[in-house]
Structure 1
């Protein structure tokens, strides 16, 4: 690991442990996530500490994926850490995509405010299943776009759009006669209408997850991201690193949950000795160490592949499956070790359990990634027979 990444990661960890964690009891939040006022206050503190958007360097370049991994893991030690440091989803993934695909004009208008931490963003891809729309299969996209002079007109419905409420920058996916397209839009826009913010198991993302109607949205042609019909290619540029970034952040929270559970097991006594001395408890904590270490190794391996310039779709699928399942086991054991306290709001363990459970679904549920891997196994077998 590079010295610059170690230095940045150490600063981020100190900031999250000393400044951010005390805010976990702050009441400025609702069922869907922290209020924007709380996020702004935390980001000002991050700016003062020199840890705002730490994965993007002053010249606009990004840390490598391996370097990013240790920085985002430290930011994830609190559910508020990624928000404070501006390493949270969906903004971090959207920054990465815009840095790779956007024009200089688009970067100045839409990317720079995200990097500065003064704007939030949303990625409009997923659609309602009841409409037969795109979920884990983006090829089912129902949202359309058509050229009208110097504009594109977009119509459709979207669902589970994280951060649309209160966001300033939107990336909207739609299909033209050429295929999938992406558009950069300013939010709010009267043509983009929130029909409801959905109640979900997780509660760490400002704005929650919204259901959206898009009715005759007119977007200037120069706000198309890249070229018409190339949207699926751009989605892969974004999604493979974004899956890995989720793994990085939630590894940090799982580490924190394990720390809390281990402390509880050493302090709490039952039947004449500390809980940790009972094999049923001690072995669960031992299994946590194994899962956490394996998750770290999987993340580092996948990051190394992405750093070669590969899209890393196979590697990111394997890592997303392995890490999300392993971290859920860790969170579940932490709850079990702590008993009634584990399911209460007295510690962050209960939220860690909820957040990591949701992680097993978004950015592709475990079963979809396994199906994709099975298809690769079949393709490789057919190729070997030729």
Structure 2
């Protein structure tokens, strides 16, 4: 069967589908076209699992956190029945939003007509509706979004027919089993707004080839680009393994119990497609939480995640501050690179480029992306 995609010539797709040693990048339209982005929204964003929060971010009954899930306003809520849910924030009366931001509540009261919902989403108050014949309060609860908890992350999916997340990433989960990701808490969050397509950031995150040009004094001396490798994948995920150039140096942070020495020293970047990004080294995890806003812009939160037991260590705040400063410095270097890439992608003469064997993660994601975009 010949694969087709609006704006893509057949030979363009064939280049992407070639084995890694002969493969090319996605066509420029994959990044810049509004039509392609709309297809991504329909076929990828609204059918995929999105990480919305860590359990510790809604740790107490009544805690909530507001977000946008592929155009749908949602909130992660720790109900007073002790269950964590993902609920629509759209009032079932006239569609005003019942919550913004984060906090702790017993009720979510719509600011428009004062309909009130409990932390399980049930409508408990609808003033002045006595004359509405057949009004069924139970039929007007906030819509619950399908959710799943994986390693302490709360994920949600707008597609009721999508396969569960955990079975799809079983091999990935076992790869990082010793890191005890479920022990993590969010210690600090950095926020950014960027003027690029979301795939520009994901691609940059998932290859070490750019260390030689973008991070010559930060990452490259510690994690040589030439040594990076990517294992085979059996699901919608990819892992970039960057061995330490100085494995005999002591770890900055005490590693989680049970980590092998190389696991504590090496750096790992991973993606569960489309854009669930984790940077992992020993006890430190950077969760890059992406919110695509259009073909040419995105919001980014970089969450600094550390094991809960590290809170008791002397100098914990200094550890958090130092990690935040380093993460910011690395991201500022990446911002300059991604700005340059976006300028080139926006130019009229730009076409597809050849991939390096060091960009295997990009190749893996491109195959998955084409499967979603050209399939049924």
TM-score (ref. length: structure 2): 0.28
Higher strand share: 2
For the pair shown, the structure with the greater C-alpha radius of gyration is 2
More relative contact order, 1 or 2 (CA 8 Å, 6+ apart) = 2
TM-score (ref. length: structure 1): 0.27
